[in-house]
């Protein structure tokens, strides 16, 4: 089952939150086919 956009964003935001606690992260870039909305099946 595929995740919804909101579910993916929640996962990504949680990951970013943890990274920022451990490292000085100022910007995050999500890249790849899914970031562009293109599913590579």
- The model's pLDDT over 1-41, given as tens digits with 9 standing for 90+, comes to 788 888 888 998 999 999 999 999 888 877 765 666 665 54
The confidence score (pLDDT) of residue 3 equals: 85
For the record, the structure tokens of 32 come out as: 């790849």
Q: What was the pLDDT predicted at 40?
A: 55
CA 30 to chain centre: 6
Number of structural domains found in the chain:
1
What range does the domain containing 34 cover? Answer: 1-41
Angle at 37 between CA 35 and CA 39, to 5 degrees: 105
Its pTM stands at 0.62
């Amino acid at each position: 089952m595929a995740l919804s956009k909101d579910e993916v964003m929640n996962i990504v935001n949680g990951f970013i939150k943890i990274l920022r606690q451990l490292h000085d992260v100022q910007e995050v870039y999500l890249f790849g086919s899914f970031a562009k909305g293109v599913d590579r099946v």
